[in-house]
Amino acid sequence: MTELIAIDVGGTHARFARAVITDGAIELGEPVTLKTSDFAGIEGAWDAYAAQAGGPLPGAAAIAIAGPVTGGTVRMTNNSWVLHTGALDEQLGIEKVTVLNDFGAVAHAVARAPASELVHIAGPDLPLPESGTVSVVGPGTGLGVAHFHRFPGGYHVQATEGGHVDFAPVDAIDDRLLARLRARHRRVSLERVVSGPGIVEIRAVLGAIEGRQLAELEDKTIWQLGLSGEDPLCVAAVQRFCLSLGSVCGDYALAQGASAVVLAGGLGLKLKDVLPRSGFAERFLFKGRYERMMQGIPIKLIIHPQPGLFGAAAAFAREHL
């Protein structure tokens, strides 16, 4: 039996949980969620978690980070933390540590998820392939993208920064959206649109098309009003978001040679009932001469409550056990 602390550091929150690994099986304790903005770095958040835990922590940790994990220094994409991966064991007072990209961790979770934790969204209702590539996509504070290749006896995870590829318009509304964003940013990446905050820009464009003067709303408010059906323009923005998400999932499936696509993240869970009734699937298929091939790709949603924490622990097990 091995005990460790699994940590999932995103742009907004850092989640901690004690993990126990026994004969390859992973059991997570109750997670503790802290705001990254409350701390200058991971050391302060670690100390705050230790104080809440009320006892000594195990001397091992698995840390999933929202940002490219290359070299010894990781500058997070959507918050101000800077992590020095080679010094984390000393900084946190631990003996063993695994550091990986946050969506690499989610891909580990998807690769190990039972069928009961994968909800069918679109395409043929088939299980994930026993061999082949699976794309993993998750909009949140940013846009997480990874994939894993499954082969007899195991799998290999490849983290990516696919959320930062260029946004590609598909129709006239997308053209308006790109023009709005290009006026504000030197370069418009996918995550400017397909992420939680992207709903603000989508609503603004739809309002401009209707000639409306809109009060500014935070993204959380737009999501709440759109998902509840309380505000028609916010509902339309959510539906438009689903179209864009379908487009990019189809693009990743093509680029990564995927046999299946899995959606993940808290925003994905919020859209669980909306996506099958939206234009998501139509946009996923909208790939010209490859439409027939796209029709054979199942799309699922992982409903594990903490895939980042679970996947971080799984990555630790593969590295150290």
Instruction: Name the β-bridge partners of 275.
Output: none
Q: Consecutive 10-residue runs of the chain (321 residues): their mean pLDDT?
A: 95 92 95 94 94 90 87 73 83 92 96 96 97 96 94 94 96 98 96 97 97 95 98 98 98 98 94 97 97 98 96 96 86
CA–CA gap between residue 189 and residue 315 (Å, rounded): 29
Predicted local confidence at residue 183, as pLDDT: 96
Strand stretches in 115-230, DSSP E:
118-122, 132-139, 143-151, 154-159
Identify the three-state secondary structure at position 155: strand
Of 76, 20, 12, 31, give the one whose Cα is nearest residue 305. Answer: 31
12 labelled binding-site residue: yes
CATH number of 2-101+305-320: 3.30.420.40
Torsion angle of C-alpha atoms 49, 29, 33, 94, degrees rounded to 10: 40
Residues 6+ apart with CB under 8 A from 86: 72
Q: Could you tell me where the DSSP H helices lie in 137-231? A: 172-182, 198-209, 219-228
Q: Hey, where are the domains in the chain?
A: 2-101+305-320, 162-302
| pLDDT for 87 | 83
Q: Determine whether domain 162-302 maps to CATH 1.10.3720.10.
A: no
33 in a labelled binding site: no
The per-residue pLDDT for 261 is: 98
Strand partners, 32: 16
Pick from 15, 109, 153: which is nearest to 301 by CA?
109
Query: What is each CA distance from 121 to 111, 216, 231, 284, 321, in whole angstroms?
Result: 18, 32, 25, 12, 35
> Rounded CA gap, 198 and 313, in Å?
31
- pLDDT on residue 78: 64
10 is in an annotated binding site: yes
For residue 319, the tally of other CB atoms under 10 A from its CB is 13
Residue 321: per-residue pLDDT: 86
